[in-house]
Amino acid sequence: MKKRYKIAILPGDGIGPEVMNEACKIIKILKKKFNLMIETQEYDIGGIAIDKHGTALPKKTLKGCKKSDAILLGSIGGPKWNSLSPKNRPEVSSLLYIRKYFNFFVNLRPSLLLNKLNYLSPLKKKIVKKGFDILCVRELTGGIYFGKPSKEIKKKNQHYAIDTTIYNKYEIKRIAKIAFQEASNRNFKVTSIDKSNVLQTSKLWRKTVDKISKKYPKVKLSHLYFDNAVMQIIKNPSKFDVILCPNLIGDIISDECGILTGSIGMLPSASLNEKGFGLYEPAGGSAPDIQGKNIANPIAQILSLSMLLKHSFNMNNLSNLINYSVQKTLLKGFQTYDISDKKKFITTEQMGNEIIKSIIQDY
Ligand code: NAD
């Protein structure tokens, strides 16, 4: 019997519902064309949930996520809720809560620039003439963002603040394994980034990654210090394949790689836990500056759906079909506002429709 899958759809705030609408159109087409047993159920999250239910993460939403096989999220937050206290802001009280609740320890952030689309990159053409295809594998539940103590201290007329960086071997091993497995299905290269010339946690990171690499003899491992890595990526992004990073370093490196593709509106992400359960969302936020204008780029949301099909449902063919159709649509010259010359561009809905046309043609 065919397996049934459930996706919890959380459109959220700002441009979230606009771009989610395009991803849902694609789910509908795929279901029809391939006779897929995928059920979708929409839930409120973020600012809209505060307005409607008095909380950014209603019980019904969390329950809906728990009984689903994967979560597809739009974006959360916006100026309307900025005046709330930090812990009540929708980003913290819903998104960070969900990430912690499901223990999403790995964050996958692909950044792909096709050589024929290299004019989109802010880098000089001669640097990106071959394009690039980088996958950042970022550790998401450890390191300085979660280490304790993390607080301000007032003592003897002094006012300090302290954050703590902490990693154990187990945390490093499990994220390193993911990086090597991903590289084994790509171009067999892992670059691990740390600051082991200074930090103890980085020394343990490097030793542990070296040890794990022995189990993957086909994958070439190299190490870079964080400061050098930032420069090398700008200088020659094409030489990278999988980049493995601790939490804070990954936060910065994944955004750097992302913007080199031209727009945050085309960058998907996946956050996964040890059971392979995942949350899939655009790398960008709710973009209040363009909300309601029908000009947001839906590609990040559509590629997040593609990652969901691959990582949570093992539907690699359909994931590849979506990726190919997105690339084909861009190569035909269709551009949303963010990647256009600002004179000639298509709307969010039109971009979704063009990608659907390619999906139908290419199958
Ligand atoms: P942002 O990513 O929302 O916007 C930054 C810039 O990128 C804006 O100019 C925006 O128009 C543009 N942009 C983003 N996505 C786009 C798309 N799909 N198409 C075209 N252009 C796009 O970052 P911000 O302005 O710093 O944050 C706005 C709100 O989003 C804040 O409340 C922030 O906390 C929240 N946020 C949420 C998430 C999330 O839901 N995961 C992530 C980051 C920020």
| Cα distance between residue 56 and residue 48, in whole Å | 7
- pLDDT score for 290: 97
CATH class of the domain at 122-260: alpha beta
Query: Does residue 2 register a pLDDT over 80?
Result: no
Mean pLDDT of 4-24: 98
Catalytic residue numbers?
A: 145, 195, 227, 251, 255
Residue-level pLDDT at 96: 86
Exposure of 246 in the CB half-sphere (CA atoms within 13 A): 33
* pLDDT at residue 1, as a whole number: 63
Kindly give the number of the ligand 1 atom that is closest to the alpha carbon of 287. Answer: 3
Asked if 345 and 44 touch (Cβ cutoff 8 Å), the reply is: no
Q: Residues 82-139: pLDDT tens digits?
A: 999 877 889 888 988 898 899 999 999 999 999 988 999 999 999 999 999 999 999 9
Question: How many Cα neighbours within 13 Å face the side chain of 152?
Answer: 3
Give percent of the chain above pLDDT 70: 99
Cβ count within 10 A of residue 100: 12
Residue in 93, 95, 279, 338 to alter for ligand 1 test, most ligand atoms within 8 A of Cβ:
338
Q: Where are the domains of the chain?
A: 1-110+267-363, 122-260
What are the residues facing 40 on neighbouring strands? 7
- Quick check: 309 and 322 in contact, CB under 8 A? yes
The tens digit of pLDDT for each residue in 294-352 reads 999 999 999 999 999 999 999 999 999 999 999 999 999 999 999 998 899 999 999 99
**Nearest atom within ligand 1 for CA of residue 74:** 40
Ligand 1 neighbours (beta carbon < 6 A)? 15, 19, 75-78, 91, 95, 264-265, 281, 284-290, 296-297, 300, 338
At the topology level, CATH places domain 1-110+267-363 in Isopropylmalate Dehydrogenase (3.40.718)
Structure-block tokens of residue 18: 């606009």
Distance from C-alpha of 123 to C-alpha of 135, rounded to nearest angstrom:
19
What are the residues whose beta carbons fall under 8 Å from the beta carbon of 214, sequence distance 6 or more? none
CB 71 within 8 A of CB 85: no
At 280 the pLDDT is 98
**Is the fold of 1-110+267-363 the same as that of 122-260?**
yes
What pLDDT does residue 227 have? 98
pLDDT tens digits, residue range 255-270?
999 999 999 999 999 9
pLDDT for 85 equals 86
Residue-wise pLDDT tens digits, 31-53 = 999 999 999 999 999 999 999 99
**C-alpha to C-alpha distance for 161 and 182, rounded to whole angstroms:** 38
Note the pLDDT tens digit of each residue in 185-224.
999 999 999 999 999 999 999 999 999 999 999 999 999 9
